[in-house]
């Protein structure tokens, strides 16, 4: 780390402006912490977040953005920047890289991020493809439930499902509780066929994993897969090379053994479809939650943005978010991998 970087971290409140530069515009109203005492303690122990240094750390990250990426079109308010600091355990450099990756991802995959708003995804959201369970797990993690069998490929491309997942993550991460506790994914692969699985080839897999691992400020604490057919071995063989070891170790394959699932996700938070006692799986409520946030998403995702290169300069895209030419995997190769599971 350079002496200049060290100086920035020890004196984050001093703006790095020359005498001839104008001061930055006023910041939005100050941050007010909504964490409970227990979550403040958890954030201190797990994320290295010290309440007495919190605003100092935010200012340090803000100064770094202004200095290193002055043309980056991003929010710089306290609450927004805290998402990235928490996701990288208050390591300034890693938080800055995550913020840059976040914007790089959004500008490098227009099929997913253009016109990204709930009303544009009514088909996906009304299909029951995903929902968030009403109860958190024992660690306080929200549970994102995904059911690929609800997707009919002839109705819309797989990128629409990815758009719906991203919208859900954006909504969840607004909560400071989620920023600290993270989320759990429950994926039900019942009825997923070879033809449907072949849509999720290496190109799509690398892009999605690149976003989840290096381009979005969320902590994925576990991925529980249930009712997976033999074909899932092929799906996992496709995605496994792109997973970091820490994330790969958080995948748990339960098959049809719901008792195994219940050791991590207790029955009282699960719907009856997964052996739980929390009633039937409700997908309509989360659909309504997203639709109620339509204006926020329009403001964030439906405005013209500069070209990626013009604002990010020398920044590198996360692995998996390179150009199509760099990931020219044929569908024949994917299907061959999948057929080998039978």
Q: What integer pLDDT is reported at residue 198 of this predicted model? A: 81
Q: What integer pLDDT is reported at residue 193 of this predicted model? A: 82
Q: What is the mean pLDDT of the chain?
A: 85
Q: What integer pLDDT is reported at residue 195 of this predicted model? A: 81
Could you tell me the residue ranges of all domains in the chain?
37-108, 114-302
pLDDT single digits (tens) 138-193 = 999 999 999 999 999 999 999 999 999 999 999 999 999 999 999 999 999 998 88
pLDDT exceeds cutoff 70 at 112: yes
Fold equal for 37-108 and 114-302: no
Fold for domain 37-108?
Helicase, Ruva Protein; domain 3 (1.10.8)
pLDDT single digits (tens) 87-110 = 999 999 999 999 999 999 999 999
Q: What average pLDDT score do residues 118-131 get?
A: 97
Architecture category of domain 114-302 in CATH: 3-Layer(aba) Sandwich (3.40)
* pLDDT interval class at 86 (50, 70, 90): very high
Residues of the chain with pLDDT > 70, as a percent, come to: 80
- Output the pTM of the full model: 0.83
3-state secondary structure the chain: CCHHHHHHHHCCCCCCCCCCCCCCCCCCCCCCCCCCHHHHHHHHHHHCCCHHHHHHHHHHHHHHHHHHCCCCCCCCCHHHHHHHHHHCCCCHHHHHHHHHHHHHHHHHCHHHHCCCCHHHHHHHHHHCCEEECCCCCCCCCEEEEECHHHCCCCCCCHHHHHHHHHHHHHHHCCCHHHHHHCEEEEEECCCCCHHHHCCCCHHHHHHHHHHHHHCCCCCEEEEEEECCCCHHHHHHHHHHHHCCHHHHCCEEEEECCHHHHHCCCCHHHCCHHHCCCCCCCCCHHHHHHHHCCHHHHHHHHCCCCCCHHHHHCCCCCCCCCCCHHHHCCCHHHHHHHHHCCC
């Amino acid at each position: 780390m350079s002496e200049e970087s060290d100086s920035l971290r020890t004196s984050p409140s001093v703006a790095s402006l020359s005498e001839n530069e104008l001061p930055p515009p006023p910041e939005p109203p100050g941050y007010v912490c909504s964490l409970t005492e227990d979550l403040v303690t958890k954030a201190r122990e797990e994320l290295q977040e010290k309440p007495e240094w919190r605003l100092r750390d935010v200012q340090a990250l803000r100064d770094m953005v202004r200095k290193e990426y002055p043309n980056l079109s991003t929010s710089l308010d306290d609450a927004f920047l805290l998402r990235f600091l928490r996701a990288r355990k208050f390591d300034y450099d890693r938080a800055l890289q995550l913020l840059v990756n976040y914007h790089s991802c959004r500008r490098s995959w227009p099929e997913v991020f253009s016109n990204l708003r709930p009303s544009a995804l009514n088909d996906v959201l009304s299909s029951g493809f995903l929902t968030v369970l009403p109860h958190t797990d024992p660690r306080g993690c929200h549970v994102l439930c995904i059911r690929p069998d609800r997707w009919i490929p002839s109705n819309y491309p797989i990128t629409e499902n990815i758009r719906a997942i991203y919208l859900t993550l954006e909504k969840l991460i607004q909560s400071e509780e989620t920023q600290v506790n993270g989320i759990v994914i429950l994926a039900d692969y019942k009825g997923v066929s070879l033809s449907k699985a072949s849509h999720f080839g290496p190109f799509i897999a690398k892009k999605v994993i690149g976003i989840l691992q290096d381009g979005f400020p969320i902590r994925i604490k576990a991925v529980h897969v249930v009712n997976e057919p033999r074909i899932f071995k092929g799906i996992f063989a496709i995605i496994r090379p792109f997973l970091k070891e820490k994330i790969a170790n958080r995948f748990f394959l339960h098959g049809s053994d719901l008792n195994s699932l219940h050791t991590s996700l207790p029955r009282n938070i699960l719907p009856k479809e997964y052996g739980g006692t929390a009633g039937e799986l409700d997908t309509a409520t989360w659909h309504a939650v997203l639709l109620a946030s339509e204006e926020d998403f329009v403001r964030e995702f439906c405005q013209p943005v500069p070209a990626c290169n013009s604002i990010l300069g020398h920044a590198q895209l996360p692995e998996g978010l390179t150009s199509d030419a760099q990931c020219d995997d044929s569908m024949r190769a994917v299907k061959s991998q999948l057929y080998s599971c039978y």
